Amino acid sequence: MMDIWSWICELPNSDEWAESDSALIFELASSKPSQEGPTRAIQLKAERTAGSSSEALVTFTICLQGFHPFDAPNTLWVSDTCPLNSEKPFLPLVLQLLQEIIARSPTAHNTTCPRSQLQKLKPDPVSWIMDSHTPESFSSFFSLVFITRLFWLCAFDAPTEAGSLCFESVLGPHLETLSCKQAPVLRTFLLTVGVDAELCFMRAMGYMLAKWLILREVGVGLQTLAPLASQQVGLSYATEAYGLWVLKGYAPILAMNPTCPRNNKFCILEAKDTVLKYALAHHQLEAVIQLEYAVRFYDGYILVNARVNNLRFHVVRLGFKKNEGVDYDDERHFVSRARVWVGPEIGATYVGGLCLGRSTYNGEKEVEIQRILKGSYGEAKVPQVKTRSGMATKTRMKSWRCDQDVEGNAVVFDAVLYDNKMGQEVAARKPIGDGNGGGVGGRNGKSFGTRCDGPNRPFTKTGGVVFAGDEYGEGVEWRLSKETEGSVLKWRLGGQVWVSYCPSEVKSSHFETRSVEWCDEVDLPIIPAK
């Protein structure tokens, strides 16, 4: 693990560090060219700079060595000055890195939160994070922040060779920092800065991961690094607050596991569809699983009630502006199934019973019978009687089916998308392509090709899907032993989401489904109100 933060914290103090001393160097990455020549390196330099008589300042720079045509050092980035004599000398450095990452975030189209309003983070939350964690635990978070900022520098402001070196020697070997479990400070940061800054930060990081995964799939020497990385870069965290259990998850599309074999001909795009594949790779799944819970106390037992408050899933395009030279703005994956589970930790013996709050759904049919009798009476020699009867059947059809189920003491909330024209579950069906966009929903994919248009669309106008509590009945209940009163139990909250793709506006036989799974622990306080 590259421990940049420890190196920064161990810099000499103002009394030991004279302005005339040469800059201190931390080598981020280095490589020897194939032909004879200078070593190429990416370096972080710390240099004592002039200040007032009572002020000692340090400035950090990121430099390239050996990439310039004349092998001269090339400065990519310069930090603001950091006062060595202050209580938190490197707080300005952390704030600057975070602000610059958020400022470069590729936001979703039609966002209601301009990035210009988020570029100035408040220092107090970041300062509190630095105070509440040890330097060892803060180190992983700082490495993640620094690597993300370095990526944006090398991707846009550096020679191609420097970008390759950054991917191979810095980003690839340190993907384990992209986990809240590996870097608990990241979870604290996301909870502290607010959801708007969180989205910008996670989209900036998602763009970086998308680029790394694209290069890894293309196979330019990076595929040998971190061979299981595609199963490790999905990030999630869970929390409990105000009577809610919340699980948030982020996953670039290429980081999700394909459900069909990679050698399936419909999962492999033809050469003419490489631009489509490139566009689809710049998408990210963003999920919010929000459950409401309540605890009630009775003689002899405790009742825990939980219900779905909100399940929100969106696939956002990690792009900077619309129509940036690619005619695939409307092509994106869509959520085709969501499975959420919640319940006590595995092996818990304090649960005495579990009750679901929704019956298994049986489809309703309305039968309309119409009878018409016509006749003529009177003195006619031949009576004329005419009868006519008819019957019409109406079936109420919904694109989504929502169910409740159990696995042990855990409750499972399941939402499955069906193609009403084909009568099939979208996430589980096998692709049948005709070369004209017929991946799902009949020829030309009309059922889901226009999934965000029309009054009966199964998705929001922006391509997301939201399930509220009215889809899942009154809720579910657990009966707990009275002995748990006064304790804080650990419950598990998890989710698995499937996303599918079928062509919308382009002619292609490509169809695929991918999935990602998250799981975490949340608190359940069994504490009576005073």
pLDDT band of residue 108 (cuts 50, 70, 90) is low
Would the pLDDT of 440 be above 60?
A: no
Output the pLDDT for position 227.
Answer: 43
For residue 175, give both structure tokens: 């993907």
H helices, E strands: number in the chain: 9, 21
Query: Which amino acid is present at 159?
Result: P
Q: What percent of the chain has pLDDT over 70?
A: 74
Contact 226, 232 (CB under 8 A): yes
Query: What is the rounded distance in angstroms from the CA atom of residue 125 to the CA atom of residue 105?
Result: 20
Report DSSP state, residue 346: T
Output the pLDDT for position 44.
Answer: 95
Question: Residue 495 to residues 250, 287, 415: CA-CA distances in angstroms?
Answer: 12, 9, 11
Query: What is the rounded distance in angstroms from the CA atom of residue 410 to the CA atom of residue 47?
Result: 56
Mean pLDDT of 78-98: 93
Beta bridge pairs of residue 390: 370
Residue 12 in 3-state DSSP? coil
pLDDT digits (tens, 9 = 90+) for 382-423: 656 666 666 666 555 678 888 889 999 999 999 999 887 777
Contact 417, 400 (CB under 8 A): yes
Query: What is the rounded distance in angstroms from the CA atom of residue 270 to the CA atom of residue 266?
Result: 9
Rg for the chain (alpha carbons), in Å? 29
Looking up tokens 């870097």 gives 183
Query: What is the rounded distance in angstroms from the CA atom of residue 362 to the CA atom of residue 109?
Result: 39
* Packing angle, helices 123-132 and 91-103, rounded to 10: 120
Output the pLDDT for position 264.
Answer: 52
Would the pLDDT of 435 be above 60?
A: no
Query: What is the rounded distance in angstroms from the CA atom of residue 124 to the CA atom of residue 231?
Result: 35
CA atoms within 13 A on the CB side of 62: 22
For residue 505, give both structure tokens: 């506006």
Nearest to 210 by CA among 233, 228, 187: 233
Please state the pTM of the whole predicted model. Answer: 0.84
Report DSSP state, residue 93: H
Nearest to 224 by CA among 268, 177, 277, 169: 169
Query: What is the rounded distance in angstroms from the CA atom of residue 71 to the CA atom of residue 280?
Result: 39
Separation of CA 420 from chain center: 29
Mean pLDDT of 312-323: 79
Lowest mean pLDDT among 59-68, 174-183, 292-301: 174-183
For residue 397, give both structure tokens: 């059809």
Would the pLDDT of 285 be above 50?
A: yes
Choice between 34 and 481, residue whose per-residue pLDDT is larger: 481
Beta bridge pairs of residue 313: 287, 465
Residues with Cβ < 8 Å from 150, sequence gap 6 or more? Answer: 28, 42, 62, 166, 170
Query: What is the rounded distance in angstroms from the CA atom of residue 82 to the CA atom of residue 90?
Result: 6
Query: What is the rounded distance in angstroms from the CA atom of residue 272 to the CA atom of residue 213?
Result: 20
Would the pLDDT of 507 be above 80?
A: no
Would the pLDDT of 272 be above 70?
A: no
For residue 423, give both structure tokens: 């009568």
Report DSSP state, residue 482: G
Residues with Cβ < 8 Å from 203, sequence gap 6 or more? Answer: 105, 106, 107, 108, 284, 316, 318
pLDDT band of residue 8 (cuts 50, 70, 90) is very high
Question: Residue 448 to residues 80, 183, 271, 455, 478: CA-CA distances in angstroms?
Answer: 51, 39, 24, 13, 39
Would the pLDDT of 258 be above 60?
A: yes
Choice between 317 and 179, residue whose per-residue pLDDT is larger: 317
Q: Is the torsion defined by CA of 335, 341, 345, 347 positive or negative?
A: negative
Choice between 241 and 458, residue whose per-residue pLDDT is larger: 241
Report DSSP state, residue 213: H
Question: Residue 468 to residues 211, 289, 393, 475: CA-CA distances in angstroms?
Answer: 34, 10, 30, 12
Output the pLDDT for position 230.
Answer: 42
Output the pLDDT for position 18.
Answer: 77
Beta bridge pairs of residue 77: 62
* DSSP state string for 418-446: EETTTTEETTTSPP---SSS-SSSSGGGH
DSSP-H helix ranges across 104-255? 123-132, 135-156, 160-166, 184-193, 195-218
Separation of CA 48 from chain center: 40
Q: CA angle at residue 148 from 147 to 149, to 5 degrees? A: 90
Beta bridge pairs of residue 21: none
Choice between 485 and 215, residue whose per-residue pLDDT is larger: 485
Query: What is the rounded distance in angstroms from the CA atom of residue 182 to the CA atom of residue 232?
Result: 11
Q: Is the torsion defined by CA of 348, 354, 357, 360 positive or negative?
A: positive
